[in-house]
Amino acid sequence: MQTSISTNADQSQLDALENGCGIFVWDAATIVRHSGPDALDLLHRLTTKGLLSVGEGQSQRTVLTSDRGRVVDVFLVANIAENQLLLVSDSPNSERVVSEIDYYTIVEDAELTDISESQTRISLIGPNARRTVESALNIGLEPDTTARIDFGDDPVYVISDTSRGPGIEWIDVIYDTAVFSRFVGAFENSGGITVDAHNFELFRISNAIPGSDREYGEHANPIEAGLLHLIDWDKGCYVGQEVIARLDAYDKVQRNVKVLKSQTPLEEGTKLTSDSKPAGVVTSASQLKPQNGEYLSLALVRKAYLSSATVLDADGTTATVS
């Protein structure tokens, strides 16, 4: 349980994310090179999205689930060159996705190299994100594509991701950690504003963007975790497909991700109740006070309590479903 430190949100950072271009530098993220002629086909057989059509220069986010239909990780597959993929996820635990894919690599000609430590990831988010990247790096970038730029001896990969939410422009930039400050400066000079982890988290929560080991993880299936749009129902088998198809076909999904509003900040992990009956659990909670004065959290809320304006109890604090 985290300690509450309540401060005001930085409106200029939130404005950049909502209306301009916010620059967020990840402290830790999973960045893996997956190479070999069988790499894409293997990921297609293992994950929820059809990937065979992701050609060179294109990208697609997908979900790796366990044979029990629970989320192992969600990652972006960027086809950066012939038989060369870059896998990028929000999880700080790269070992999880590497070991899971490695386990299923049997006769396939495919190799995983974890480069998370040597590379830095920046996400540029907001309606001006693409313009900012194009201006700073002097490139053109279409939605769901990836571009490579040579920066001295080191390649820089720029990956567009339209899967984060309706209308959310999100671009990931991956490059050698040694030169990362030069890129942040270039993006700031092109109109971007650097955002800190707390304001990024508030943006993520307010837009109901599922987070790693928060809304999704081994505790949740991808449908309840708000990842329904990353499942292709007609692609055929993948690990966990039978369980996930059954959950959908028989309407067995019991929870959904919802934004909660409260007058005081909530704590992650707090159980939600309604008339003393279990109603869900808080999965992400911002400690920042937004301009309108209502604190925001994300929760996995049980089916019976999903309606907007439903009032729940969070260990003595009133939380309203948004």
What residues line the site for other proteins (CB under 8 A)?
A: 42, 44-46, 67, 101, 103-108, 237-243
User: How many CA atoms lie less than 13 Å away from 161 in the CB half-sphere?
Assistant: 27
Alpha-carbon gap, residue 167 to 176, rounded angstroms: 30
Choice between 113 and 118, CB closer to other proteins: 113
Q: Are 116 and 94 in contact (CB under 8 A)?
A: yes
Choice between 1 and 107, CB closer to other proteins: 107
Choice between 108 and 188, CB closer to other proteins: 108
Please list the helix, strand and coil fractions of the chain in percent, rounded to the nearest 5, in that order. Answer: 25, 35, 40
* Cα-only R_g, the chain: 20
User: How many CA atoms lie less than 13 Å away from 184 in the CB half-sphere?
Assistant: 16
Q: How far is the CB of 316 from other proteins (least distance, A)?
A: 43
Q: How far is the CB of 247 from other proteins (least distance, A)?
A: 13
Q: How far is the CB of 44 from other proteins (least distance, A)?
A: 8
Q: How far is the CB of 240 from other proteins (least distance, A)?
A: 7
Q: Work out the angle at residue 135's Cα, subtended by the Cα atoms of residues 133 and 136, and round it to the nearest 5 degrees.
A: 65
Q: Tell the burial category of 251 from Cβ atoms under 10 Å away from its Cβ (0-12, 13-18, 19+).
A: exposed
Choice between 47 and 286, CB closer to other proteins: 47
Structure token digits, residue 90? 């929000």
Choice between 34 and 214, CB closer to other proteins: 34
Q: How far is the CB of 68 from other proteins (least distance, A)?
A: 10
Q: How far is the CB of 241 from other proteins (least distance, A)?
A: 5
Choice between 71 and 158, CB closer to other proteins: 71
**What stretch of H or E contains 272?**
strand 271-274
Structure token digits, residue 69? 């239909």
